[in-house]
């Protein structure tokens, strides 16, 4: 860890780590958060170098939003859900549902986000779709998040592709959760909207990783059952000591997130690998879709402040 800190100082580097990263990676990070928080942080930073500890689409997103050079410690740390959607899926959906806006979840390749009208996160997807005047919306790639948005807005939300999902969040089993709730009485069950509907229906609160974290920090309750990737529990315990936290599934582990280790972070800094490159035209289109989203929400576009 000392070598990582030394290299950070020498290189003028900043380490960003997602909430699902392992404890040792979170501990060397300058900022820990969800994909939106980290992307916004990347846009604001004046660092010479950013080392992004997360899966591929997150590092790609940081490179699009930042003027700094962005390194990804392991290019094989990929998001399985992001690989489930293609540009062809979006073009086909546009032909079949003419006039419907395309809302793409940030958990997608840059090439797909470049075809979107709006780019959202799990934290703001609901508000963005609510704000749209259209009653039919194309949404990809997570079918469960699409279902959650449809359920809460009453709009027709067309999932693209039909099978898109997060392999981690489908590991939560409603039967197991009912059993856990009967054993751990009084524990609030907090679920991510990427979970299937039958799991969400059992939740006391539904939100993104950052929203779940805030709920744990601010709730009068001190006992929680966590329905998202278990890596976030480490940060929760650091930020609310004394809370009792149990995973709703011990199998809810993102193997790709865990590919990034402290040793790989060290190597990334030492050898300046692996630099994230995004085609300029693609990056410009993604920024435009993001600008549409910020403006729809009445939020200042981060890069307009520069």
pLDDT for res 44: 92
pLDDT at 33 over 60: yes
* CA distance linking residue 92 with residue 225, whole number of Å: 40
Helices 56-65, 280-296: axis angle to 10 degrees equals 80
* CA distance linking residue 178 with residue 203, whole number of Å: 10
Average pLDDT, the chain: 96
CB 254 within 8 A of CB 168: yes
DSSP letter for 184, please: S
pLDDT at 304 over 80: no
Burial group, residue 20, by CB count within 10 angstroms (0-12, 13-18, 19+):
buried
253-282 pLDDT, tens digit per residue, is 999 999 999 999 999 999 999 999 999 999
Domains and CATH numbers, the chain: 2-79+258-275 (3.40.50.10800), 81-165+279-306 (3.40.50.10800), 169-253 (3.40.50.10800)
CB burial readout 277-289, b (16+ within 10 A) else e: ebeeebbebbbeb
CB 276 within 8 A of CB 63: yes
Please state the rounded mean pLDDT for residues 68-73. 97
pLDDT for res 303: 72
pLDDT for res 306: 55
Helix (H) or strand (E) holding 189: strand 188-191
pLDDT for res 305: 64
Please state the rounded mean pLDDT for residues 35-42. 90
pTM above 0.85, yes or no: yes
* CA distance linking residue 153 with residue 147, whole number of Å: 10
Please state the rounded mean pLDDT for residues 283-295. 97
């Amino acid at each position: 860890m000392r070598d990582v800190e030394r290299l950070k100082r020498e290189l003028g580097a900043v380490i960003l780590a997602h909430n699902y990263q392992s404890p040792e990676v979170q501990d060397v990070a300058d900022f820990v958060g969800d994909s939106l928080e980290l992307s916004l942080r990347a846009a604001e930073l004046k660092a010479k170098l950013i080392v992004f500890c997360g899966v591929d689409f997150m590092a790609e997103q940081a490179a699009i939003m930042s003027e700094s050079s962005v390194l990804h410690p392991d290019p094989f740390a990929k998001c399985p859900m992001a690989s489930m959607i293609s540009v062809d899926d979006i073009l086909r959906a546009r032909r079949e549902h003419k006039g419907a806006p395309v809302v793409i979840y940030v958990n997608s390749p840059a090439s797909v986000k470049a075809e979107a009208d709006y780019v959202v996160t799990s934290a703001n997807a609901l508000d963005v779709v609510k704000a749209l005047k259209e009653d039919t919306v194309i949404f990809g790639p997570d079918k469960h998040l699409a279902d959650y948005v449809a359920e809460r807005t009453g709009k027709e939300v067309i999932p693209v592709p039909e099978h898109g999902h997060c392999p981690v969040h489908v590991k939560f089993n409603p039967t197991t959760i009912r059993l856990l709730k009967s054993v751990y009485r009084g524990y609030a069950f907090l679920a991510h909207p990427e979970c299937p509907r039958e799991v969400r229906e059992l939740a006391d609160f539904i939100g993104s990783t950052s929203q779940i974290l805030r709920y744990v920090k601010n709730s009068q309750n001190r006992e929680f059952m966590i329905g998202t990737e278990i890596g976030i529990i480490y940060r929760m315990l650091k930020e609310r000591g004394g809370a009792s936290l149990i995973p709703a599934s011990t199998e809810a582990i993102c193997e790709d997130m865990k590919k990034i280790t402290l040793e790989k972070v060290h190597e990334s800094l030492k050898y300046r690998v692996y630099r994230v490159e995004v085609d300029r035209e693609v990056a410009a289109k993604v920024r435009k879709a993001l600008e549409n989203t910020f403006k729809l929400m009445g939020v200042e576009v981060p890069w307009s402040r520069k």
